[in-house]
C-alpha cells in the first residue's frame, strides 16, 4: 500500500505564491509519474501538472507560466510551486502517483485546500 502525504495548502491573496509537496512511501517500486490535480466546487477533477521520473512535464494551459512542477526521485516527492495565484485557482489539490511498469499501481493523496482571495 502506497501512502501519499500532501502539505503546503492554505489561504493566500491573489498574486501570491504557495508551494505544495507530496511524498510517496510504502513501496520499493518508484512511481513512474507523479502529478497534481485539482477539483473546485461543482466541477470535475482536472489535471494541473504531471512529471515523469525522467523529468518530462505537462501542464494545464491555465497554469502554464505560473506553476512549476518538480520532483525529487530519491525522496519520491513531488512539488508544485504556484506563483501569481488567481481566485480561479481555488480548489482542493490532489497528488497522484502511479507506476506504469510492473507492478502497476496508482494512488491519490487526501487532498489539500488552496484558497485564493481576491
Q: What is the pLDDT of residues 43-101, one digit of tens each?
A: 999 999 999 999 999 999 999 999 999 999 999 999 999 999 999 999 999 999 999 88
pLDDT of 31 reads 85
Per DSSP, the residues of 18-44 read EEEEEEEES-SSPPSEEEEEEE-TTS-
Residue 27 pLDDT more than 90?
no
At residue 50, the 3 state secondary structure works out as strand
**How sure is the predictor about 30, in pLDDT bands with cuts at 50, 70 and 90?**
confident
Selected residue with higher pLDDT from 19 and 31:
19
Q: Which pLDDT score is estimated for 95?
A: 97
pLDDT at residue 18 greater than cutoff 80 = yes
Beta strands in 53-111 (DSSP E): 57-59, 67-72, 77-82, 91-99, 105-108
pLDDT digits (tens, 9 = 90+) for 103-114: 889 999 999 999
**Distance in angstroms (rounded) separating the CA atoms of residues 53 and 2:** 17
Amino acid at each position: 500500500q502506497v501512502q501519499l502525504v500532501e502539505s503546503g495548502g492554505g489561504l493566500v491573496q491573489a498574486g501570491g505564491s504557495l508551494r505544495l509537496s507530496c511524498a510517496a512511501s510504502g513501496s520499493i517500486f518508484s512511481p513512474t509519474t507523479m502529478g497534481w490535480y485539482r477539483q473546485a466546487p461543482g466541477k470535475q477533477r482536472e489535471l494541473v501538472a504531471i512529471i515523469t521520473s525522467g523529468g518530462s512535464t505537462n501542464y494545464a494551459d491555465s497554469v502554464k507560466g505560473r506553476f512549476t512542477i518538480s520532483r525529487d526521485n530519491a525522496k519520491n516527492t513531488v512539488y508544485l510551486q504556484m506563483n501569481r495565484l488567481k481566485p480561479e485557482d481555488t480548489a482542493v489539490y490532489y497528488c497522484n502517483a502511479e507506476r506504469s511498469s510492473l507492478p502497476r499501481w496508482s494512488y491519490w493523496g487526501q487532498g489539500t485546500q488552496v484558497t485564493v482571495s481576491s
